[in-house]
Amino acid sequence: MDTIIGYLNNMFGSLPKTEQMAMLKQELLGNMEEKYYELKHEGKSENEAVGIVISEFGNIDELVSELGLGEVRKEEGLSMLPMLDELAVEGFIAAKKRSGLLVGWGVGLIMLGAALLILISGLGENGFMGNVFSEDAMSMIGLIPLLLLLGPAIALFIYSGTKMEKYKYMESGFSLPYPLEAYIEQRQSAFAATYTLSLIMGVCLCVLSPIAIFVSSAFGDEYISYGVAVLLIIVAVAVFLFVYYGNIRGTYQRLLKTGDFSEEKQEEKKEEDRIVGAVAAIIWPLVTCVFLVSGFVFDQWEINWIVFPLTGILFGVFSSVYNMFKKKDAA
């Protein structure tokens, strides 16, 4: 029944909201409702009943022309938001999926680079390459794969960003024809199980990843760095799952304007971003100044880096406390 109400709302969405219209809509809804319950009573399934009722609705333009609304509709009825068609939606979903895959690989590559860095410097510490390179040289060599992987990763980020440029117009709002919305909803609910599975797998991988360290430390302390490398690779797989499937979920939410992309959330976010962004713009340069001054003037290089993680944590606390108070005020 909700589908029918949604369909009717959508049909009337672009028509002027007068009392006459409201009554006509109510009347049509009453008829459709009666037809729906009769069909159900005859033993039709939910989908069949809804399908028949909607297919026998007809064409709203017929009513519009009879009511002499043609002109009104053209002037103010149709909203200015671009209407997406099936092609645009399919294109957007495919593009988002591809860009999610690219970003997922990018993040994965960076983590792989970090894992290799630790692995190579671990090899160095253990003197495996001692006859060729010194320990210091090994930790420098470790940076090479990290940097080599960082390059393609950033290229992937930029490339996927430019690919999405085409769909930038969607940020300023869009509207969907009803059947398409219903179709996307269907796909979203079909995807829900996959998403949950990927989430569970990702979390399990993260939870289990420290096992690599325990196992390696059982062989001796000098093997711990290999454990860390394995841990990072496991986490990289988990992060890939989060990024890739989370992105697909985000695509549906964006199209249906639900979850993080609902209108009120968007408003809230804009406000939050503004305040938190303003504070960040002051705090981070200030912290950098403290870092540089304490380093150059007081020569505290070995300890002063702590200001960054410390500020990061404090800033995180600030923004969540700020959001909490904000929500309280709103409530």
Partner 1 sequence: MISSDVIRGYNDTMILYMLLDGESYGYEISKNIRKLSEEKYIMKETTLYSAFTRLEKNGYIDSFYLDETFGKRRTYYRITPQGLAYYRAKCEEWQITQEVINKFIKEL
**Candidates 59-67, 112-120, 251-259, 299-307; binding stretch for partner 1 (CB under 8 A):** 59-67
Q: Helix, strand, or coil here: 61? A: helix
Minimum separation from the CB atom of position 35 to partner 1 (A): 6
Give 100's strand partners.
Answer: none
329: closest CA among 275, 282, 254, 257? 275
Nearest-5° Cα angle at 65, 64 to 68: 90
Give 175's strand partners.
Answer: 83
Among positions 56, 76, 90, 263, the unique one binding partner 1 when judged by CB under 8 A: 56
Q: Helix, strand, or coil here: 175? A: strand
Minimum separation from the CB atom of position 185 to partner 1 (A): 23
Q: Does 66 bind partner 1 (CB under 8 A)?
A: yes
Rounded Cα distance between 134 and 127, Å, is 8
Closer to partner 1 by CB, 73 or 163: give it: 73
Closer to partner 1 by CB, 28 or 235: give it: 28
Minimum separation from the CB atom of position 48 to partner 1 (A): 15
185, two tokens: 């909803």
232: closest CA among 329, 118, 135, 153? 118
112, two tokens: 């792989």
Q: Does 62 bind partner 1 (CB under 8 A)?
A: yes
Closer to partner 1 by CB, 35 or 326: give it: 35
Sole residue written with tokens 């880096």: 305
**Candidates 62-70, 301-309, 312-320, 323-331; binding stretch for partner 1 (CB under 8 A):** 62-70
Give 83's strand partners.
Answer: 175
Name the strand (E) or helix (H) holding 199.
Answer: helix 178-208
Minimum separation from the CB atom of position 66 to partner 1 (A): 4
Count of residues that interact with partner 1, criterion CB under 8 A: 19
Rounded Cα distance between 231 and 209, Å, is 5
Q: Does 67 bind partner 1 (CB under 8 A)?
A: yes
Q: Which of residues 12-41 bind partner 1 (CB under 8 A)?
A: 23-24, 27-28, 30-32, 34-35
Rounded Cα distance between 268 and 329, Å, is 12
126, two tokens: 């253990």
Minimum separation from the CB atom of position 27 to partner 1 (A): 6
Minimum separation from the CB atom of position 47 to partner 1 (A): 19
Closer to partner 1 by CB, 28 or 146: give it: 28
**Candidates 57-65, 78-86, 131-139, 161-169; binding stretch for partner 1 (CB under 8 A):** 57-65
Sole residue written with tokens 């160095």: 124
Closer to partner 1 by CB, 59 or 172: give it: 59
Rounded Cα distance between 50 and 2, Å, is 9
Closer to partner 1 by CB, 50 or 205: give it: 50
The letter for the amino acid at 227 is G
Minimum separation from the CB atom of position 61 to partner 1 (A): 8
Closer to partner 1 by CB, 1 or 24: give it: 24
Phi, psi angle pair for 175, to nearest 5°:
-130, 155
User: Residue 34 to residues 31, 60, 271: CA-CA distances in angstroms?
Assistant: 5, 20, 46
Closer to partner 1 by CB, 31 or 189: give it: 31
Closer to partner 1 by CB, 43 or 220: give it: 43
Among positions 58, 127, 161, 316, the unique one binding partner 1 when judged by CB under 8 A: 58
Question: By the criterion CB under 8 A, which residues form the site for partner 1?
Answer: 23-24, 27-28, 30-32, 34-35, 56-60, 62-63, 65-67
